[in-house]
Structure formats: C-alpha cells, structure tokens
Amino acid sequence: SDKRYWIDEMKRSFYVNCVGCPFLVTWGDGKEGDIPNPPVSIEGVEGDAELLPYTTVTLPPFGSNAFPAVEKASEEFPLLTEWMKDDENALLNSDILESSTQCDGFPSFRQPEAVAETKDDAPLSILPTVFGRSVDPVTGLEDIFAYDPHLTLYENTPDKPLADGGGQLVIDTYQPLDPGDQVMCHNVHRAHDNEDGCQLSYLDTACAPDTVPQETIVLDGANLEGISALTSRSLYAVTGLTISEDLNVEDGVFVSSVLDEDSVLSVEGCNSWSRGYAAKDRKTEKFWCDRAGIENTPTTIVFSPPRSQLSIVHKLRMYTANTSTNSDPASFILEGRVKPDAEWEIISSGDLDLPLDRNGRGIPIQSSYESGDINLQYTEVSLSTNTKAYWDYKLSIPATRDPNSNLQFAEVELPGLLLPSFPVSHSCTPGAQSSRWMKEADAETCPNSANLGEGTYKLFSDLISAKPDVYNPNIRDVTREYRECDGVDKYKLDLGMVQASDGTCWSHVHDFEHSVFDVTGADPADYTVSGSMAQISNAFLDVILNDSAYPIIGILDDHVAIDGSPNSPLDQPDVQDVFMTLEFNPSRQAVLICGSPGEVATDPFASDHSFDITTPQKTGARTLSIWELSAQRHTTWAQLAMRADDQLRQRQSWALSQIISVGLPGSGTVFYETNEPYPSFYDQYVQNGFGSYRNLLKDISFNKIMSEWLTFLDNKSLQYNINKGFISYADENFAREIMQLFSIGLFMLNKDGSKILDEDGKPVETYTIDDIMSYASAWTGFEERDARGGASAANRHVDRSLDPLYINPESRDHFPKSNLYGGFIGDQVVLCNDLPDRAFLRKGATYKILGSDPTPTMLSSEVAVEMNPDRPKMELLPSSPLFNMLCSPDSNGDCTFPSKVVLEDNLFYDDAAKLGLEYKVDTLRTVEMKVGMSHPMYYEYIRQPCVEHTFYSNAKKVIQGQVHGDAVQDNVMCADPTLPIATSMCLEPGSEQSVGGTVHCNYMGERMTYDSAIETCAAKGLELGEPWLFRKDPHESGPCAKGASFTDFRSWTDSSCQVQAKVSFDAGKVAIVHSPSPDHGGMTNTEPSVSEASLNFFKTPWTNGHFPSLNDCLSIGSCHVHDDESCICDTEVAVNDVFTSSSEISSIADLKAALHIGAADPQSFEDDHFTNFGSCGIDGLTVYSTGGNCASFNSDTIFSFEWKSKSLFLKNIKSEVYISGSSFVFRNPVQFISVVQTEARDAYHETDEVLDSLFYHPSHPPFLAMRLAQRFGLSNASPSLIERAVTAYEAGSYETNNLQFGSGKYGDLGALIAAILLDPESREAVLDADQSHGHAKAPLDKVISVFRSMGLKFESPLVMPTLLDSYDTIGQGSYESPSVFNFYLVEFAHPGAVQDAGLTSPETSLYQSYRLLYLLDAMSTTVKFGVNDCPRLPRFEGWRNSSPFQCSTVEGNTDFSPAHFSYWPSSVESVQSIVSELSLLLTSSRMSASNEALITSLVQPIFDTGDIAKAIRAAQQYILTTPEAHTTGIARISENERQLTGYESKPRGPYKALVFLNFSGGVDSYNLLVPKGQCGSGEDGYAAYAASRGNAIPLDGLTSISTSDQVCKEFGVHSDFSLLADLYNQTIFFANIGTLFKPLTRHDEWNVGDLFAHNSMQYNLARGDPYDEAPDTGVLGRLLDMLQKQGHHTSANNLNGEKQMLQGFPEYQNTITEVTLSNPKDLNQYPTVTDLFDVAKQLNGVGELGNSFFGEAWADSMSTALFEHEQLMAIAAAGIEVTDYPLNGESNLSKGLNAIANHMLSREFRNVNRDIFVLRQGGFDMHHSSDGLAPAFQDMNSELGKFINEMKRQGIWEDVAIVFGSEFGRSIPTNSNGGTDHGWGGHSFLIGGGVNGGKVLGNYPHPLDSAHAQYVRGRMIPTTPHEFVWNGVAQWLGVRTESDLDLVLPNRKSFSECDHFTDKDLFVDGACDCTIINGACSCQCDTVTYSPTVSPTLSPSESPSSEPTTHPSSLPSVIPSISPTLNPT
C-alpha cells in the first residue's frame, strides 16, 4: 500500500510506503531538548526502545523472525514527524500500529477513532487534493502532503445530514472551561437550499440548531447513593405519601396571615379602586375605594390565596392608612367558603375601632401570628371561636367613619392556622392546577379507577400524552392550566389511573411522591431508608417543605440541570466530575436535522478533498500564515481552472462570477482571510451554472457574503428605525446593483439586445430612483444565523455563519412596494381573501415538519406559549385525511413524516372527517399529531403566496395589548373583516363599564375572520364587542389569551374603522392611515406605522397622473392638510369587472397587461364551483367562471394561461381607490405583508416575488445573453445571435444537430450558454475576418489558456500556481474583484478603432502599460524558468507552504520550479512545423502570415544550433507578444513599427499642472464641510445638520473656517482632513456641486438619465458632455487638446484613474501616459532571445486595412507601453527621482501622489509645460457605515500634506492646482445600516499654492431637509455644475477664448455665463473676469505672452518630433467637429 497521513496541526508530515515495507523512524524536529523521551513499544522490536532526540529506530529487515520473508530487497524510507504537542501519549506506540491487509503482516498506521472538527477551514466540494511529496532543495528533506488520521469530517449535506446534527461530536469535544475549542452543533436551520432533505432524528444526541448540551446529573438510585457517599449528605427520593381527605389540624402551621402577596382580589361596591395598592403586599400601602354616590351598598373584598391549602383564621387585624380618619372602616363582616363555588359562611362581624394615629406609606410590616407590628398602628379582632377551615375569604365594609368619605386602610391580616398540603393534589379544584402522575410499568390494564367523567379523563390523558418525558421517563407533572374538569370531578382528590395516547398507564400520586430531598440533619426516626428511597409521612413532608435546611434536589430519575446553585450538593466539582453527563435529547424526541451544501466528508483516497485544519488563534500550532490561508482559495480556483474535468462548467462559473460579482467586504479580518467564505460563495456559480438563473439569484440574495458586500445585512425598515427613535431609510445598495448589474441593466432592451427608445429617441430606463427606494425596502430584515459547527463556522471565535440569511419580520418593511411595471410587487398574485375556504386542505397547501418542537418558524410565535404542552393545540385525529397525508404511512402503516408536504389535490373530507377540528376553523398555524406516538409531532402550515389589498371597505377595529382601567386601548388598527387575521373579543351581552372582554378560540394562536369571531362569541353565549377592560391574566381573559404576551395577537371588535390615504403633494405618493373609532376612554391610539404621522409612502399609479394638490386638499371635505406637506383623506374602494366578453380580448398579452389581480387555481375549489369555458377563441387561454359564458364574463371569471414556464391565473376585476368626495382615483395597491399581522412567511413570499419581477422582466434575457456572450468571446454579439440566445433562454431549450440542451423551463442557463457557444456566429471561422468580431482576451483567461495549452506539469502535486494577487499585476484575479462592476465596465470602448466603430471592448480597460508588460514578462519568465516565486522576476505566484524556491539564473533551467511547461511539438522537423503548431495552440491559427514568417526567421538560427528546446521557448515568447495571442479575430499588421515620440523642442510658457483626485464611490462630503454657527435667519446650522444626518460629525470633530456670501458664515471641516482648514487661504470649497444637464429644482423634471449609478455618474463626470456633442472624449482630454492648440506641450497622465476623462479628439493625438506607481524594471531578464521586446514592436506594427479592432487595440496599447517603459527607463537612468518623499507603502494614495511628484520632476526631461494627472482612489461607497470616512480623510490629509511639501521643494507649488471630485455626493439622512446611499449634489474643493482661497463658492444648501427646494428623496439636486469649476481651471491653464472653452465644456451655455467661475475667482494670477453690464454678461481675459524656455531637454526617441504622435492608422474613424454646437435651453 502507499498511504500518507497528516499527523497533527503541525506542518510536518510523514508517509508509509509499503513497496519495500521496512522503514526508518526518525524522531525529532532538529531542536535538541525540545522533545520528551517517552518509552515507545513498537511491534516487531524486541524489548522497549526509548526514542531520544535524533534517535533512529529501524524495524527488522526482511526475512527476520518478526516478519515473513519478502523477495524484494530491503529499502529504507524516511518517516519524518514532530512531537504531537497536544497529545499526552507518544505518537508511535503499539496502539496505532496494526497489521495491514495490503502488506502481509507488515505494520502500517491506522486511523484513530477519535473525532475532531476543523477549526477554521472545512472541506469544500471544489477543493481537490493530490497526494505527493517534494524535496526541499536546501535541506534535502522530503515534504509530504497527506491525510490526517486524527481528523474525520462527516458528510452533512442537504441530502444526507448528520444523523444527530453533530450532537455526539459536541459531547465528545466538550470543554466547559474553553468553549472556543469545542465543536458546535452542526445542525443547520431549514432554508431554501436544504429543506427538501431535512430529516427527523430520535437519537438522544440529536441537537437542534443553536443549542448546546445540557450539563445534567441523572438522579437514579445508583447516582443518589453515590452522591450521598461522596458528599456525606442524605439524599433520598421520598415515597409513601398519600392523597387523603383527612385534615390533621395538629400538622398545621401558624402564620401571621393566611393571605399573601399573590392573593387575587375581587372588589365590588366601588366606582373604582386602586389595584396598585391592594392591601396584600405586606407593606403599609393603602387600599383605596371610591364610594362617591354609593349608598346602602357595602364594599366587599374577596381574597383568593394562590396556594391550594385550607386555613383556619383566628384573628382579623387591620392597619391604618396615611389619610384622614374619616376614611377608616367603621365596621366589618368576615365570611369564608370551603371551595370556590360554595356558599359564603359568616365567620364574624362587628365594629372596627382603628387608632387615630396614622401609618406612613410603604413601611414593611413585621408581624407574627401572636402579634401585629408593635411599631405600627392597627386594631385586632379576635376570632378564637372559629374552628372551621376555609378556602378563601370575603371582607365586607358596610360603612366608614364618615359615610361620605372614600374607604381607605393600609393592610388587612388574617392570622391563623395554615393546614397541611393535601389539597396540593386536589387537581380538579379551581386554582389547584398541577398534578403528578407515575408510570405503571407492569400494568396490563388501565381502569378508570376514580370513575372520572369522560371530559376529565380525556383532559388528563391529553396532558400526560402531550408532556414529553424530557428528563424523566417515569414521572410526569402536568398542569391543566385553565381547562376545566367535568363538574362531577371538580373536588376529587385521587384521580386514579389514566391511559396515555401511546398506551402507557399512569397513576395519580402525591405531588411530592419520588421527589428527592436532602434531609441531612433530620431525625432518622422520621423516615425509613431502603437504598435510595425514604419512606416518609405526610406530616414529615410538611416539616421538610417548610424548612429551607432540607432542599428539594429534583425527582427520582430526573436529569437535573447543573445551574450553579451554591447550596446544592450537585454543584460540587467532585460530584460533577464523577456524575455529570451531557445531553441534548434524552427523551428521544423528534429533532429536525438539516444539512448544508458542500459540507462533504473527507475521503482522501477517493474524493480528493484537502484543507488546512489550523486556527489562527493557536499561533503556536499554526501551519499556515493568514496570507497562505487566503492563498488556498486561489490555488483551488487555479487548479480547477486548469485540471477539472468539467471545464465548461468551470468556465461558466467564472463568467457568472464576473456578472454577479463580490469582493472583500471584510478585508483584513480573520473571517474573510480564511479559505472558506469565498469558495462557498463561488460554489453557487458552480452548482447553478447550467440550472436556473432564478435559483442563482435567490442563493446570492440570501448569502452572507453578498449581504456584507452590498450592505443589506441587518438592513432595517424606515418604520423600525422610527420606532427606535430616528428617521433612517433602507439601504439601497443591493436594490440598485441586483437590478443594474445582476439582472436587467439600466435600459429597456428589445429581444435582440438593442435599447428601446422613447418618442424622443432616448433610451427608456428600466428603473428610477423611486423604484430603487421601493426595492430597497424589500431588502430589509435580512439577518445572519449564529455560527455553528461544520463548514459554516469559518472561525469559531468570530460569530460568523455561512448559512443562508433569515428574514426577521420585525425589521422588514411591511408596506406596499411598487414594481418596475407601474404596479406593485404582488400584482397577479391571488388575493388572500380569494383563496378557497379551508385553503389549507386544498391543492397547493404546504406543510413543513417541525418535529417535536411546536414553535413555528415562519409564523409569529411566542416560544414559551408554543412549548407549553398545556396550551390548546390544533390536534389532528387519526381519522383526518390531513393526518394521513402528513403521516405518509409506509407499507407497515408506520408514519414516515416527510420533511415537506405539498397537497397535489384537494383533500376529501366525508361527514365523519368533517367533525375534525381543522374543518371548523378559518386557517391553521401548526398542527399536532400524537395518537399512538411517544411524542407529539408538529407540522407548520405555510399558506400559499397571496396578497392583500391595502385599502378596503367595511374595515373593523382590532386591538392589541391590554385595555387599562381607564378603558384606553393601545396599538389600534383597522383590519379587513374578510381575512382571518385576528381573534375574538367576547363580552357579556349588555356589558356595563369595567366589565372585561375575553378571548376564545379553538387552538392557541387561532386567527379568524370577523364573521367567525362573531360566531365564536355567540357559541359561548357572548357577543363580539369593544371591551372596557381587557387584561391578559389567568382569571380574566379567557382560555386563548392566558399566558400570552400583550403583543401576541390582535382581537376583533365590533367598532368601525376608516382606512385613509395620506398623499404627498410633491409626488403623489401614498401612505396608509388607519382612523379607528374612539375607544371607551375617548382615545384613538393608532399603531404608529399607520398613524397620521406615518412616513411610509409608496408610489402608486393615479388615473391620468392626477393627484390632490394643496388647494384640492383644502377644498375636499373628506381631506385635511397634515403638517408634513401631505393630505389625509377618507377613501372608498370600488371593484369592477374588466372584460365583459371574450370579444374584448385580442391576445393573451393584452389580457395580461390589463389584469393585475391574481386568482386561485380553479381546481383548488369544489369540483362544481367553476365551469370551464375552454379557450373562448383565444389560443393558449382557458377561461373559468361561476356563471355566464364566453360572451358574458363576471367578477368571478378566471383566465388561465402558461407564461414563461409558469401557470398564471388572473381574476377579471380591478380595484380602485377613490378619494371620498372627489374625482381623484388610484389603483388599489397589493401587499404580501399585512400591517396588522406581520409574518416571516409573507416576507419570504414577497422576496421571491421581488426576484421574480427581475427574473421575468423583459429586459432580463437579452441583458444576461449579452453579458454571457461578452464573457465567452463576443464583445459585440450581433442582434440576431442575442435574439436566438434569448429565445433559447426563454424556452429553456436549445436544439442543434439533434441535440437538445436545457430543462425546457424559462431561465435555463444551460440552454443559454449552448445557444451562445453553438451558434454559427460563435463557431464560423470565416467571421474572424470581420473586424468587429470576437473580443480581447481577459488577462486571467489568457494565463490559464497558456498554462493548459503548454502543458503545465507539476513536479509536486500540491505545489502549483496560486495566481495570488494577480489583480495588482495583470488586472484580474480569482476572488479579487475590485468592485461590484467586476474588473471592467461592460460598456467600455477602447479609444481609437474600437471606440470609433461604436463597439465595446471591456477587457481592454485593463490595458494599462504596466499590466501589459508585467503579463508578457511573467509569461516569458514562466517559459524560461517555470512557475516560480523569485521576487526579482515578474511571475505568477507559486505556493508550496514553505520557504521561497531557489531562483535560477540560467535560461531554460526549471529544476527549481514546482511546475513548468511540458509542451513538446508533435513534429520538430522544422521551425515552420513548431511555429505553426504553437500558432494553433496559442492563437487558434489566427496568426498573420507576416508575423508567422518573422517569428520563423528569428527562431531558425536557434533551431539550427540543434537546441530544439530553446527554439521552442523562443517561438513561444515571440508568439505571446502578438495581437493574435491576446485577441480573437484576424490581425492585419504591417512590419512597420508604430512611431511614438516625445516633444523635442522646449515648451513656451511656464509649467502648470492640474491634479484631479477622483475619489470614486461617492464621497460623503456632507461630513467634510459642515455648517456651524448661525445660518439662514438665525437658526443653529449645526443642530439642523445633525438632525438631518444621523451620522453627524460631533462638534469637537470639526475645525472651524469662516466665509462670506453663504447661508452660513461659519463652517467646520472634518478634523481628520484639517489640512484644508490649515491651508484654507489656498483652498476653495465648492458647495452642492454635481453633474447637471441644466439648472433644476425638485419641482422640475429632474429624474432623467441613469442617475445615482456609479458607472453612469463616473462616466458623466469624466465626459462633462451630457448631450454627447463631443462623442468619445473626456473633459480633461478636450482641455489638453485646446492647450495643445494654443502651442503648449501637454501630457495626459493616468494613474488608476479614468482614461475617458483624458481622452481627446483624435486629430490632436494627445497620448494618455500610464504613470506607474513603482519604478520601472528591466524587461526580459536572463533572456532566451535578447531582442524579444524589440521584435514585439514589429509584431505589433502599424495596422493595415481590415485589421481586427481588438487586435488594433492590443497592438496600439502594447506599442505605447513599450514606449512609456523606455521613456521611464531613460528618466531613471538620468537620475531623475524624488528622493526625500516619505512614502507610505500601505497607502495607494501615497504611492499615487509620489508617482505624480516623480513624473512632475521629469517635466523638463519630457519637454512639457502642461501636465494633467488623474488619480483614482476608491473605497468611498460607504453604504454600511461611515466609520471608514475618518481613516480615509486621515490618509488624504497626511498624503496631500506630503505631496504639497514636495511641490514646494520642487518650487512649483504655486503652479499646481489640485481638484477633488467624486461621481456624486451621498444621501443626507443615514440609511438603516448607519451608512449613506447614493446621492447627487456634494461638495468638492480646489487647493493650490496659487489658489485665491479662503472661501466657499456655490450655494451651500440650508436646511438639509425637505424644506429646501433642492431636496428630493433625501438627496440634494446640485446647484453648482462641474462646468463652473472647469471653466476657471481651463482659463488658468491657458484656454481663454469662448470657442475653445465651448469645445472643452460643450454644456457650458446651458448655464448663465456669469455664473461660471473664472480663473480670477479661483486663482491669484487669474486673467479672466466676467461682469454683468446692462443685464448682459460680459467676459474678458488679459493677454498673456510666454517666453520660450532655455533648459535643455532629452528625448527617448531617436527621431523626435515637435508633437507626440500615435501610430498612423489606416482605419476609418469619426473625427468630431471642433466648432461648438447649439446647446439645449
């Protein structure tokens, strides 16, 4: 055998190779003294061998007595390991040696049985392993990678979850003192990705999700005896107690009062009385009774003690109150009764002579039986003649001292004798509710020995059956709560025997029978001991019950939880050490067990799974660094990309990952730096790659990684935040991106991918900002699960989980949400009140199993109530058809209990079945099944998705919570009476004031319709009404409210309620207002979410777009104006038919567009309910109705048809809402989530519908088809291909050559990719000649392709390229997406041929010079040396978990490489054959004849030397530089090099430079420049700002500046950017700046263009040309063109910036220079051929006619890159370098500004006098939190300061201007995550040595709220366009004529000329100024004359020219006109 293992968490490994079988054991790690010297017995070695450090033990050779003879000669193999530090035993001992079946009799290592769990990286389904070894070239030692025998990971997949959820693993690894090192329960919460495979487990180790084992001690007989012996305590289970009718007065206890604090009071004869001071709390609080107007009626107080004991009272004692003596009682009557329904008997009566002295309030009363509190004032009446025992007492006060006074006293006591405890077992007595039952193990029969009534017998049988024996199999304590016994049994003591539902027999015993007491110290004569039992009397029980010295420990056979009680003997450590056990499910209940995708088992020899098991917390044992851990995911990706068998699936997954892109939201944290999170996310692409895109959308929407990346985790609704005390809207990030980037794009598309245009020829947008806000509200409530064991817990010490998110309904938005079609989310979904009666028994009803836990997961619930077995449940009888369906019996009749049951047909209920409770209710929640089962089984009913109308007629008031003594109701709402949404509120007929309401139901939590509530009350002889009083306590509220919380449900009343519309004046949005009738207290305490103050507005379609204005609101009688600019109106709802006959329907499409209300499947109704009319002449349609025919439809008519693979049912009605008393009408919205009863179920349904609205959107198929086509080689696929692909996607099927792909369902990715790849347009080689066909290959795709085609061979199987951090070097890397836009914008067009042709080439946006050259040089390095880690060479990172490889300096030497190219041509007879085959493999034989000839000629001399391998390497490197290797299509390249030169002559005029800092993501500049002091008309500017923001910067975090001509005279600058305040005299702030088409306010049509999207707003910022008058150019490129036109020597310089911004007109040939952030290095080190990059210039020569556009882009970029590199090398050689710049290597801004400073230093070398730099810095899209703003400002503050100092050192600070900009500002209010969303207007600044600073220009908006005309949806519309700033900057740089400025700023004339800033406004040396003369603007500029410079210049070009040039292109291009065009007005 050949087995290899990992031993421990240390890196060292060993293997056993049984080829030769004898082997060496080397013990040690090279550190003498570090390793213990344990004796180790090794099988086959005589005697004991002591292993010392460096000691070698050699097993016997072949042929010895110890082993059988083997023919093969002896061969030694090293066995390397380290001491296993965490183990107590030596590694090598006889316990882990066994005979191997593979090697006869020879020892091999077997896997120990101990189980462990991974600490941070679990097995991933995408992580294959190859076992192998490698030799360290330095030490010569072998490094073995192998399987760890100490580690077992079990399969826990959805189809095969762990049998007990991992409970046994938890118990096995339990560490109470270090829980971080123990395994957690692996059980997964049920979710959409696992629910079908969930199973029930009855194992005692089964753990429910999020549970930990209970530390318990079993109180069985043996343990009791053992604990007693260990602790020297007397612990016994008592027995012999009897249930007796006899009362032994001698056993009574004398007490100071038989009344106590828990006594219940009932009072009559008072108008009102104080419950708060009820004269029973043992303090001198007062009892107060209002007796005004009451004559001849005594006040009576009934005291009902809570304990179930009789008492004999001997005295009446009363204490005086602190009020007037006139209120003292003057006389009394005391009565008692023996049971609650017995007659009252007078005990005593007489006068009361209370002391005149008063008692203070609140003094504790210290009294005894013998005497009252001697320090207080009281009177006492002797009742010594009373000898009768009573249950409760009534005290009547006929009069007070002053008959006209109220009654008051402080406290009443009844000292007396409390009798023994026998009534505790009196289980049917009212108030005595508990009883104990003991199982009769040997009972053959179970007679009703107490002759219980049928109802009583069933009551206790049900209670016993429902009570799980969680911790005790033989005793069950039950509480009947408020369910009543039969009248005949009400006062029976002994209830005899009862049979439970599972057939077991139970006897009623004394309540303390078998209780375990600690009777240490008691007189042994009082009990008789037998083993662990003690026989005692009832009298002795009373003694120990009333003496705390004898505590109760538990019950015999109890599993007692260790709770840390200091007085318990079980709390002693020595007891716990011996007797403690760990338990999850001791009673073996049914626990639901679910698995997780990808959580697979380890099987190293079959499944190729491998991973690192160490945790970063255990640094001493870590095998890998954090960097190496994160590298593993890249290794995995690269390995699969190169070696997986399913290459198309892997390629599809990679493509999908670039459409749905995620990055690193938690970069720098342990969680995100470990392996697991991102591969687990990537697995979703793999799993769904050929499935439904809809499934992928759902998976990513519930994924934790995505939720943090796009910041909707913990996103809260507006109302949730308002309830918490602040206004904050939902985070919009994910809502925007899932539409724009993942599903439908920005513009409506035709089926062929072309944009749909409006009547003005403009593209129609897919969504607006209103839509974003609406959809954002749908992404609220998402929260993550707790961490668990297994693959989910990437890091146990960080509470993170990878399981799907869940929706918390509390923080979910509950209101209607507009969709993208002018309607609502939920349109065409059935109305809930249109579902058939008892829909839960009809087709489509869904049930999900809960197991033995009745707590629902999708419905609101109170766990304490649901888990209480005494609460009435919805029990299904075995005769129930639903019972049978859920049971799903097997062939033996045993229930199988499926995980999920969906009714495929209606259930048939015969007359007998209809007697079942489920047939009598309106709806179900959970159902109980318990007959014949040891534990009840529960299912949860999931109502099918349905919606409610927001507005409805005949609304009724529902109440929630208590109704107080003042009759005031809280949280009142309106409810639709047709919906089962509340419970009953029943009153006695004709109830008077202070009479309470009661709730009645069939099962706990039942909801019913209004009519059913009336019927429920009537069945009880009550009537539905509005209560004066309702308190949910046991004696007042009815059987269905007891024990529930005050907010657990709502109740119907008979009061009316009006649903009103609150309409916003500015946009016609609507909010819901509930206006209930006042309660009996005259109040209307409406739920805040639907009160008049509601801010929950939603968009709704108004008829003809007309909605009430302010004037309308004032004139409509049903309306009134609210103070938030809205109108609140009464409404009326009208429901009308839409079609009257089939003749009105022209097509299914028209029908679908006209009908918005869904219908239930007609087959879910009774068979005769609907008539099928057939198609009514319309193909594909089926019509159902309750009457009429095709020529006569009605409101019940249902239309059914198939649409996009799903069946639609639409109802022939429309519902409209009228503003009462007006003609204003809007469509009645629908909503999934009820505002009355919010359920998680409906939130999930709503989320599905939101996803469907995107998935079924008409633009989605072409959007996705174009994206995938781009990723698979067609950057500009033809409309016909897109249409064919869309057709396949929509059909879910693609057929070609008798092959069929896809599932046949809409949205099938397999069909879509087949349609793209197998389309002739993708496959016909002739199309390569089309210049526009094909694409530029993506960098990583090229690397993988080269590795595969060149046969990358791995010397050691686990050592391979990671391609780690390749984004920085080549522009692309696995798991390295830099933004949600992925690596490139899909709409990017490379300047030049591609752009001129109107095409896109996304991948060419990565053609930065440094990246191109790095890619080529790294490929060359790999050809020469193989994959390597040599830091001095460009390379693709290698990884081997060890020190770096040695680096070769000999070209062609791959000895030190773990992997190298193994390619060898099929023929080496000639160079032509070699080059031709390489052309096939590397260019698909597209290489031009000229390039192939040139390469052949260059390789021939090498070939002629006989060094074939070198010739191959040379050919490979030459070919890899060609356009054909990097693009598809035919390259037509001449041999003429592209001539690129710099300026030869000196520039005229001084040097000036502009640096544009493009801070992308949208900077929150409202926290950069903050108002302070007085603003406007004297308001506190800061206070107003802070109130509007939510994330306001504190005052002490601002540095003050002052200004004039602003609404505020003082502002504060963020103190972390204090440089701007320090240099304020050289700084200008621009307030409320942004992209503007024209001047706008919110009252204009402002919502045009694709506002608020990063890419479009960045594009607009770069272009500065909103009307596209200068196509394909950028604002700074045009500025450079005009400067060059003026004779300046210009340079456009890009640093990770926006190339588009620097792109000028082609005729000016302003080449964009890529300024690198690091110093240039020599290319082609240790060359195969020295002329590689010189030849590359020829291979990328001037393009000829017909050249591929993409090849042209590569060749142009390649040539430019080489020119720039040569120039940089020349500059470096000249020693031009900034030397005193404190560079911060961790800051990209620092590196960028340093590079700019370096480049500026070379200005004379380059002969330029006008530099423009664009530096892009990301990371400002702070949706989730603004916490990142301060460190970003700190970085900017520090690095700008360094840069300014360098400018001063260079002497050019006065000649440098730095402009700060961002694509947009942020929203004013924070979102619910504490961050901000995309805004519009923001603030920017200009800083420079020559800036005329110290001011704020533009108009700072105040206030920052809706009172401002620019404020819209929490954003500010800009008032300062970017043109204003660029105008002054352009003038300062030298562009001063109006015509030139108009070319630079095409939209300049959309604004008043005098509003533009001039250079005199901005700069000290400005030359231009504008003034208004006679109402007209007049501008002039001073004349500037330049003197030529005299400083010498150098040029890297041998043939320099006066101007820089690009290559002359023969390709046609469109040159824009230089003359300005008309501007729109």
The pLDDT, as a whole number, for residue 471 is 67
DSSP 1810-1829: EEEEEEEE-----SS-STTH
Over range 401-418, report the average pLDDT: 91
Query: Please, which pLDDT band fits residue 1911 given cuts at 50, 70 and 90?
Result: confident
Q: Which amino acid is at 740?
A: Q
1367 has pLDDT over 70? yes
3-state SS, 770-830, equals: HHHHHHHHHCCCEECCCCCCHHHCCCCCCCCCCCCCEECHHHCCCCCCECCCCCECCCCCE
The pLDDT, as a whole number, for residue 332 is 95
The pLDDT, as a whole number, for residue 233 is 92
The pLDDT, as a whole number, for residue 1432 is 76
Cα 762 from chain centre: 37
Cα–Cα distance between 342 and 1102 in angstroms, integer?
A: 68
Residues 6+ apart with CB under 8 A from 1025: 985, 986, 987, 991, 997, 1053, 1054
1076 has pLDDT over 90? yes
119 has pLDDT over 70? no
Cβ 559 vs Cβ 586: under 8 Å = yes
Q: Return the percentage of the chain with pLDDT > 90, whole number.
A: 55
Residue 508 phi, psi dihedral angles, 5° rounding: -75, 125
1874 has pLDDT over 80? yes
The pLDDT, as a whole number, for residue 40 is 33
> Given CA atoms 1618, 1623, 1627, 1629 in this order, what sign does their dihedral have?
positive
Over range 1896-1913, report the average pLDDT: 89
The pLDDT, as a whole number, for residue 795 is 46
Whole-angstrom CA distances from 1192 to 1146, 1186, 1285 are 16, 11, 42
Task: Kindly report the average pLDDT of the chain as a whole number.
Answer: 83
**pLDDT tens-place string over residues 273-313:** 875 566 777 888 888 899 988 888 899 999 887 666 788 89
Angle, helices 1260-1271 vs 647-659, to 10°: value is: 120
**pLDDT tens-place string over residues 877-891:** 889 999 999 999 999
Cβ 1615 vs Cβ 1598: under 8 Å = yes
Residue 1308 is classified by DSSP as: B
The pLDDT, as a whole number, for residue 1706 is 86
Over range 1497-1519, report the average pLDDT: 97
**pLDDT tens-place string over residues 321-366:** 988 999 999 999 999 987 776 789 999 999 999 999 999 988 999 9
The pLDDT, as a whole number, for residue 106 is 26
609 has pLDDT over 90? no
Token pair for 1783:
């560079």
73 has pLDDT over 50? no
Cα–Cα distance between 1457 and 1421 in angstroms, integer?
A: 11
The pLDDT, as a whole number, for residue 350 is 94
The pLDDT, as a whole number, for residue 1039 is 59
The pLDDT, as a whole number, for residue 865 is 56
Whole-angstrom CA distances from 1841 to 1600, 1622, 1801 are 19, 10, 18
Q: Which amino acid is at 313?
A: V
Cα–Cα distance between 117 and 148 in angstroms, integer?
A: 12
Angle, helices 1675-1685 vs 1922-1933, to 10°: value is: 20
Residue 74 is classified by DSSP as: P
Pseudo-torsion of CA 626, 629, 631, 635, nearest 10°? 170
Q: In what order do the strands lie in the sheet with 1182-1185?
A: 1171-1174, 1182-1185, 1198-1203, 1206-1211
1658 has pLDDT over 80? yes
Token pair for 1612:
């504060």
**pLDDT tens-place string over residues 1706-1758:** 888 888 898 988 888 899 999 999 999 999 999 999 999 999 999 999 999 99
Higher pLDDT, 311 or 1622: 1622
The pLDDT, as a whole number, for residue 43 is 38
Residue 1507 is classified by DSSP as: -
Cβ 1560 vs Cβ 1654: under 8 Å = yes
688 has pLDDT over 50? yes
Using alpha carbons only, give the angle 1209, 1213, 1218 rounded to the nearest 5 degrees: 140
DSSP 344-378: PEEEEEEE----SS-PPTTPBP---SS---TTS-E
Of the candidates 866, 958, 822, which has an alpha carbon nearest to the alpha carbon of residue 1235?
958
User: What does R_g of the chain's alpha carbons equal in angstroms?
Assistant: 42
Of the candidates 956, 2003, 1028, 866, which has an alpha carbon nearest to the alpha carbon of residue 1543?
2003
Higher pLDDT, 851 or 58: 851
The pLDDT, as a whole number, for residue 602 is 61
First CA to last CA distance, the chain? 85
Q: How many CB atoms lie within 10 A of CB 109?
A: 20
The pLDDT, as a whole number, for residue 547 is 86
Q: Which amino acid is at 1570?
A: V
Poorest-confidence range of 209-223, 315-329, 791-805, 1495-1509? 791-805
**pLDDT tens-place string over residues 1185-1217:** 998 999 999 999 999 999 999 999 999 999 999
Higher pLDDT, 1880 or 479: 1880
CA atoms within 13 A on the CB side of 485: 27
46 has pLDDT over 50? no
Query: Please, which pLDDT band fits residue 428 given cuts at 50, 70 and 90?
Result: confident
The pLDDT, as a whole number, for residue 1656 is 81
Cα–Cα distance between 161 and 594 in angstroms, integer?
A: 6
The pLDDT, as a whole number, for residue 277 is 60
Residues 6+ apart with CB under 8 A from 1778: 1794, 1797, 1798, 1801, 1846
Cβ 1260 vs Cβ 753: under 8 Å = no
Q: How many CB atoms lie within 10 A of CB 623?
A: 17
660 has pLDDT over 70? yes
Cβ 302 vs Cβ 342: under 8 Å = no
pTM score of the predicted model: 0.82
SS3 268: strand
Q: Name the most confidently modeled range: 151-160, 630-639, 914-923, 1585-1594.
A: 914-923
672 has pLDDT over 60? no
**pLDDT tens-place string over residues 1253-1298:** 999 999 999 999 999 999 999 999 999 999 999 999 999 999 999 9
**pLDDT tens-place string over residues 757-793:** 999 899 999 999 899 999 999 999 999 998 888 765 4
* Alpha helix positions (H), 1164-1308: 1240-1255, 1260-1271, 1279-1291
The pLDDT, as a whole number, for residue 965 is 67
Tokens 């042929």: give the residue.
63
84 has pLDDT over 50? no
Whole-angstrom CA distances from 1093 to 1065, 1073, 1074, 1419, 1945 are 15, 9, 11, 66, 46
Poorest-confidence range of 516-520, 1502-1506, 1982-1986? 1982-1986
Over range 1490-1496, report the average pLDDT: 95
Over range 426-448, report the average pLDDT: 80
The residues that bridge with 1227 in the sheet, in sequence order, are 1216
Query: Please, which pLDDT band fits residue 183 given cuts at 50, 70 and 90?
Result: confident
Cα–Cα distance between 160 and 168 in angstroms, integer?
A: 17
Cβ 424 vs Cβ 310: under 8 Å = no
Query: Please, which pLDDT band fits residue 992 given cuts at 50, 70 and 90?
Result: low
CA atoms within 13 A on the CB side of 723: 16
Residue 577 phi, psi dihedral angles, 5° rounding: -60, -35
Cβ 1232 vs Cβ 781: under 8 Å = no
Q: Which amino acid is at 880?
A: S
Residue 1374 is classified by DSSP as: T
